[in-house]
Amino acid sequence: MPVLRTVRCLILLLVLPGWGTLPAVVSAATDPIPPVQASLCHHAASPLLLTKLNSAGITVPCLTDGVAALPSSTAELVTKLTATSEPELLPDTDFKKTTAIISVTSNHRQVFAEALAGFLTDPHFHCNRPVLDRYFRLRFQAPPANDICPPLIPFRVAQRYSLPQQLWINPARVSEVRILFGGKGQKMASKFGHLALHIVVCPEDSQDPQACDSNLFEHLVVGFMAHIDEFELSTFKALWGDYHAYLFAFRFMDIYQDYAINEFREIYSLPIHLSPEERTRVLRELSEIHWAFQGEYRFFSKNCASLLQQALWTLLPAFKTDKYVSKKFIRPDRLFNAFKRSGLTNGSALAPKQAAEKKGYYFSSTKPFYAKAFSVVHGAMAKPPFSNLDEYLLMTPPARRAAWADDKAYLNKLLNEPYLLEAQQLLEELALVRSERRFHAEGSRYLQRLDVIKRKQDILKQLDTEQAALFNDCILMPVSLFTRPVQRFPAIPSEATNHEEDNQRVLSCRTPERQKRVTELLKKLGTTARKPWERLINSSEIVEITLENVRLLKDIRPVVQASDNKGPQP
């Protein structure tokens, strides 16, 4: 466990189903994608590649319009390329480094042959395999592609309360790409912080830098994380690279809630110097990594920092030669410091902190904010039944409510002092965030105890036909969405992926009638895991009552505002 704790920041858990409505960054997954122009016949434009292909006895004729003619089958071309001994048609070190971050690597030679075949024959290769396309153009001295790629770039973004959503990002609306550092946490596990990329997405109707920076609800964070495909973390798997790493995408505000509110950590957002063209290219290439990459996640060698560094070396060659960041880093905090010193980023944006916080380059931990709220609330109560914030949060929600609702003098203060009311509201909101986290943890324990996958057959024997169908559709399928490997794609998808079908299947379970039956079924199954079930239901009730506390305090608010009594200010 101590080992785990030292690397805790590096491990993240992906949950496929279950997470909230994301404001459409650009458009829904079903929006039509404009057609793209066909790419040039690369080998014709590259005498070097043409020579090497000829010397290997491989012919891929070009048509008059500059489009490569398809060989009798792509497989045939791949076979020929795999079999060739021509050194210039074999993977080199750069290729190995490149593919290490953009594909599921196993056999470099095979991967190289397939990629080159794609480069030679796929008219959309430049757009849907941009990292590989850039590599081949550089290696074979082919001129830059002049075809027009689709204007929208897809990412599958995790949601807090609902299924992940496929969003299409318009690079023209991206004003900056930044390095995001989730600062050191109080616990050992988050001691070295976490690194990812922060995509600053502008509002639809404005390119004004301030408007873009404050459009936080549409900003995205993409970062390398481990996919834990079971209900509890295995230390050995984590150490030996048995968990897969992927480049996941999240809403910035979800990251902020988890870091700054849930874990009381600071967040830094360090702008990378990029031209508009570079931003578009980086965004497209990140999308390729997001959809295609699957690697090992090792706590001490291949973690969020090292994978991000490798990706930046591939995406932005200047990072490979910079004196500060060309050295390999394992610790996120040290790599972040190197990024700050590097001239490739705007390190001065982070200081002083007050100015950075005003501009959105720095986000404080909310710990002092809640501490202040606690102090205001505690000071206003005659006999507070708690002495510190932790004690307040450990009280049951009815007991917390009793503390502020049953004390008539205090309730009257709440009704008349907006500043105090807001402080009280903040404490309940923090309790809600914490109770949801607790609920998730109890749910994990319950599923672990139920061990649905292993006990599938036993469980099915206990159920009638209708219950079995419900079990399959509404429990087993969502669980399998979580436990199965993350689906990989050979290229950036040009349309909505079949994730949407999974989403639809899960959504079909969310009618009130089916949800009632699912609850009954879970309860029935819960008899074999009674304690975890009781705790799960209890934690669910705690969330619900805390939610009602939050609603109540929100509803009190207009009464206060109407009274025109502003109350004491800090």
Partner 1 sequence: MHYFLKNIVFLATLVLSAATAYAEKPLLRISCDENDTNVKIMINGVYKGDCPIDISVDPGNVMLHAQQPVSAEMERVFIQKFFISDGVYRRIDVVLSAPQLTVAAYKARQAEADKKEQKAAQQELQAAQNGDMQAMLRISKRYQDGKGLSKDPAQAELWQKKYQEAHEATELKSLMQRAEAGNSAAMFDLAKRYENGNGVPQDTEKSQAWQQKAQAAETQKRLKEKQEAEARRRAKVEERLKSYSMTPNMDKLTKSQSGKSDPFDALSSTVASPMALVSDMLSSPSHSAERSKIADELTPHAAAWAEPDSLMAKVHTKRQLITAETK
Instruction: Confirm or reject binding of residue 481 to partner 1 (CB under 8 A).
Output: yes
Instruction: Compare residues 67 and 405 and give the one whose CB is closer to partner 1.
Output: 405
CA-CA distance, 299 to 336, in Å (whole number)?
A: 18
> Token digits for 303?
């973690």
- Eight-state DSSP code of residue 162: S
CB of 13 to partner 1, least distance (A): 5
β-pairing, 174-182 vs 295-297, is unpaired
Residues in Cβ contact with 561 at an 8 Å cutoff, skipping those fewer than 6 apart: 418
β-pairing, 174-182 vs 362-363, is unpaired
Q: Which of 128, 166, 190, 287 binds partner 1 (CB under 8 A)?
A: 190
Crossing angle of helices 418-450 and 512-526, in 10° steps, is 60
Across 46-62, b (16+ Cβ under 10 Å) vs e yields: beebbebbeebebebeb
Q: Which of 29, 115, 305, 430 binds partner 1 (CB under 8 A)?
A: 430
Instruction: Confirm or reject binding of residue 254 to partner 1 (CB under 8 A).
Output: yes
Instruction: Confirm or reject binding of residue 191 to partner 1 (CB under 8 A).
Output: no
Instruction: Confirm or reject binding of residue 167 to partner 1 (CB under 8 A).
Output: no
With CB under 8 A as the contact rule, which of the stretches 3-11, 135-143, 295-303, 491-499 interacts with partner 1?
A: 3-11
CB of 229 to partner 1, least distance (A): 10
Instruction: Compare residues 320 and 367 and give the one whose CB is closer to partner 1.
Output: 367
Instruction: Confirm or reject binding of residue 158 to partner 1 (CB under 8 A).
Output: yes
Q: Which of 14, 44, 62, 90 binds partner 1 (CB under 8 A)?
A: 14
Residues in Cβ contact with 153 at an 8 Å cutoff, skipping those fewer than 6 apart: 168, 169, 170, 171, 283, 284, 287, 492
Residue 409: HSE in the Cβ half-sphere, 13 Å Cα cutoff: 5
Instruction: Confirm or reject binding of residue 429 to partner 1 (CB under 8 A).
Output: yes
Instruction: Confirm or reject binding of residue 16 to partner 1 (CB under 8 A).
Output: yes
Residues in Cβ contact with 534 at an 8 Å cutoff, skipping those fewer than 6 apart: none
* Contact pattern for partner 1 over residues 284 through 313, marking x by CB under 8 A: ------------------------------
Instruction: Confirm or reject binding of residue 243 to partner 1 (CB under 8 A).
Output: no
CB of 406 to partner 1, least distance (A): 8
With CB under 8 A as the contact rule, which of the stretches 5-13, 61-69, 74-82, 490-498 interacts with partner 1?
A: 5-13
Instruction: Confirm or reject binding of residue 255 to partner 1 (CB under 8 A).
Output: yes
Instruction: Confirm or reject binding of residue 130 to partner 1 (CB under 8 A).
Output: no
Instruction: Confirm or reject binding of residue 566 to partner 1 (CB under 8 A).
Output: no
Q: Which of 368, 379, 385, 485 binds partner 1 (CB under 8 A)?
A: 368
Residues in Cβ contact with 459 at an 8 Å cutoff, skipping those fewer than 6 apart: 452, 471, 525
Cβ-contact 447, 483 below 8 angstroms: no
Q: Which of 334, 509, 524, 567 binds partner 1 (CB under 8 A)?
A: 509
Instruction: Compare residues 111 and 556 and give the one whose CB is closer to partner 1.
Output: 556
Instruction: Confirm or reject binding of residue 381 to partner 1 (CB under 8 A).
Output: no
Name which of 367, 368, 363 is nearest 255 in CA terms.
Answer: 363
With CB under 8 A as the contact rule, which of the stretches 75-83, 105-113, 141-149, 153-161 interacts with partner 1?
A: 153-161
> Token digits for 509?
């379970």
The 3-class secondary structure across 115-138, one letter per residue, is: HHHHHHHCCCHHHHCHHHHHHHHH
Residue 73: CB atoms within 10 A of its CB come to 9
CB of 346 to partner 1, least distance (A): 16
Q: In the window 18-47, what residues touch partner 1 (CB under 8 A)?
A: 18-21
Q: In the window 308-367, what residues touch partner 1 (CB under 8 A)?
A: 354, 357-360, 363-364, 366
CB of 40 to partner 1, least distance (A): 42
Instruction: Compare residues 129 and 401 and give the one whose CB is closer to partner 1.
Output: 401
Amino acid, res. 421: L
Long-range pairs, 378-384, Cβ under 8 A, ≥24: 380/410, 380/413, 380/417, 380/420, 381/407, 381/410, 382/407, 382/409, 382/410, 383/407
CB of 402 to partner 1, least distance (A): 9
Q: In the window 442-461, what residues touch partner 1 (CB under 8 A)?
A: 442-448
Instruction: Confirm or reject binding of residue 164 to partner 1 (CB under 8 A).
Output: no
Instruction: Confirm or reject binding of residue 5 to partner 1 (CB under 8 A).
Output: yes
Instruction: Confirm or reject binding of residue 67 to partner 1 (CB under 8 A).
Output: no
Phi, psi of 350 (to 5 degrees): -85, -10
With CB under 8 A as the contact rule, which of the stretches 275-283, 290-298, 441-449, 486-494 interacts with partner 1?
A: 441-449
- Eight-state DSSP code of residue 244: E
